[in-house]
């Protein structure tokens, strides 16, 4: 038996789906939430996303397209609030969500889908109040990140670990990006395997697709013979952009002919621990003698990002931890080979479209990159195979699986009546006259 899902409440507390990916705390989670919500709405399923107000100019309600509402909830200062400060705003945010829910008739939402542990804490409360199932996606996990800390990174606080354990226990269904993440939920958080559904994230195959490389290079201002290593993502220790810079320095020292043609583009903004030292990566590049060979470019539109992918010789993803790796699958979809760390979900994202590297030794990375840059035929073959691989990861496939998860959770969710919840075990129940 299936029950059709008509209305979904999504909760994305710590970052708005409308924020530019690559800035602040915005990244793959934002892309995931917005892309899935849009496609659910286009299928006639109403979606309301609850997120925190982060600017005084933000309207309380944004409607990107019919059937999709983004509700901004006031909780704490609009600007300047760091992610580590957000647990202190859980009560204020939850109260705002509860007020919005009270304006709707009983049973308005069919399911809640929370993203990241902070949202899960609020989703847990809302699901209990609205008597609907809670579906939760972790996106990242403290115990995984703490086991793979980057150089100069700080561990996630114990409070986050406790909060994640609570959400894992409370959720009716847990959406894991990959089989690896499903194992981590079971092994590190004692998650019930029966709750876990593997739903791989997607890529917009209309935007990210192979194209004219020469035209792409002209668009982004590269010469025909430039050799481009591209890093896309937030500049923070977790993403390890320093590995790209250090490896590039070794490439230049080993091959003087490459020195005049190599370009390393860091496309993203400072975030997390990296925000405290925004010039650290530039200082590193200068100290290694790379100078103007390393170019810092702010986050950009998806259309221009696709041009950067097409223009690159190699896209480098050296992260210490990734639940999936949207950058890797976007690059693959554009037909560009990827060199990525062999961690988390990156093996699934890269597939046959690149090379996986164990560890973060810049010397090892330099060797892998040198071999690939010296072999145009291999790069072309990896790009072709990667583009084919990406065809299996369209967002429509992701949404197909999410709808199935929602419908299953709705069928299996059996909320305990309020009176029964208040009756202590073994106590007599009231007898109707």
Rounded (5°) CA angle 401-179-379: 95
Residue 313 main-chain phi, psi, to 5 deg: -80, -40
Q: Which residues are known binding-site members for 1D-myo-inositol 3-phosphate?
A: 14, 25-30, 83, 116, 140, 160
Distance CA 274, CA 206 (A): 33
Find out whether 195 and 171 touch, Cβ atoms under 8 Å. yes
Q: Show the beta-strand stretches assigned E in 60-137.
A: 61-65, 68-73, 111-115, 134-137
Strands (DSSP E) contained in 346-423 are 354-357
| DSSP string for 213-276 | HHHHHHHHT--TT-EEEEEES-BSGGG-HHHHHHHHHHHHHH-HHHHTTEEEEEES-B-GGGGG
Task: Name which of 312, 321, 328, 314 is nearest 343 in CA terms.
Answer: 321
User: Residue 7 forms beta bridges with which residues?
Assistant: 46
Give the residues across from 230 on adjacent strands.
265, 315
Q: Please enumerate, by residue number, every residue annotated as part of a binding site for Mg(2+).
A: 309-310, 312, 336
Task: Give buried/exposed letters for 299-318 (b at 16+ CB in 10 A, else e).
Answer: bbeeeebbbbbbbbbbbbbb
Joined together, the tokens standing for residue 194 give 């029966």
d(CA 283, CA 149): 22
Question: Among residues 52, 40, 43, 50, which one has the least CA distance to residue 9?
Answer: 50
Annotated binding site: 14, 20-21, 25-30, 83, 116, 140, 160, 234, 239, 309-310, 312, 322, 330, 336
Would you tell me how many other CB atoms lie within 10 Å of the CB of residue 415?
A: 13
Contact 169, 193 (CB under 8 A): no
CB 233 within 8 A of CB 27: yes
Give the Å distances, CA to CA, from 354 to 58, 88, 219, 310, 315.
41, 42, 25, 15, 9
The answer to whether 393 and 203 have CB atoms below 8 angstroms apart is yes
Per the annotation, binding residues for UDP-N-acetyl-alpha-D-glucosamine are: 20-21, 28, 234, 239, 322, 330
Residue 315 φ/ψ, nearest 5 degrees: -100, 130
């Amino acid at each position: 038996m299936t029950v059709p899902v008509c209305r979904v409440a999504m909760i994305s507390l710590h970052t708005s789906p409308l924020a530019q990916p690559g800035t602040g705390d915005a990244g793959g989670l934002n892309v995931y939430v917005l892309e899935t919500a849009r496609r659910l709405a286009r299928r006639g399923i109403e979606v309301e996303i609850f997120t925190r107000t982060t600017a005084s100019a933000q309207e309380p309600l944004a409607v990107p397209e019919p059937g999709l509402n983004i509700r901004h909830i006031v909780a704490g200062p609009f600007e300047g609030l760091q992610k580590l400060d957000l647990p202190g705003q859980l009560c204020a945010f939850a109260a705002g969500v509860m007020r919005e829910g009270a304006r709707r008739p009983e049973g308005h939402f069919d399911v809640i889908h929370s993203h990241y542990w902070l949202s899960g804490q609020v989703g847990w409360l809302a699901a209990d109040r609205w008597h609907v199932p809670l579906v939760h996606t972790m996106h990242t996990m403290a115990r995984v990140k703490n086991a793979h800390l980057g150089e100069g990174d700080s561990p996630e606080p114990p409070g986050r670990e406790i909060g994640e354990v609570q959400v894992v226990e409370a959720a009716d269904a847990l959406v894991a990006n990959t089989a690896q993440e499903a194992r981590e939920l079971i092994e590190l958080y004692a998650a019930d395997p029966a709750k876990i559904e593997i739903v791989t994230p997607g890529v917009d195959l209309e935007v990210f697709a192979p194209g004219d490389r020469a035209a792409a290079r002209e668009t982004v201002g590269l010469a025909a013979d430039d050799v481009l290593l591209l890093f896309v993502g937030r500049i923070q220790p977790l993403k390890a952009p320093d590995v790209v810079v250090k490896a590039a320095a070794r490439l230049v020292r080993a091959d003087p002919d490459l020195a005049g043609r190599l370009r390393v583009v860091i496309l993203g903004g400072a975030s997390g621990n990296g925000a405290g030292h925004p010039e650290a990566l530039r200082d590193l590049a200068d100290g290694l003698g790379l100078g103007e060979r390393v170019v810092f470019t702010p986050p950009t539109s998806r259309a221009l990002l696709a041009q950067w992918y097409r223009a690159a010789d190699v896209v480098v993803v050296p992260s210490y931890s990734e639940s999936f790796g949207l950058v890797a699958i976007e690059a693959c979809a554009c037909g560009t080979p990827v060199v990525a760390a062999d961690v988390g979900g990156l093996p699934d994202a890269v597939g046959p479209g690149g090379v996986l590297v164990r560890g973060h030794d810049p010397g090892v990375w330099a060797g892998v990159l040198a071999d690939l840059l010296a072999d145009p035929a291999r790069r072309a073959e990896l790009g072709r195979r990667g583009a084919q691989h990406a065809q299996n990861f369209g967002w429509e496939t992701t949404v197909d699986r999410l709808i199935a998860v929602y419908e299953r959770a709705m069928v299996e969710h059996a909320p305990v009546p309020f009176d029964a919840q208040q009756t202590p075990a073994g106590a007599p129940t009231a007898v109707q006259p």
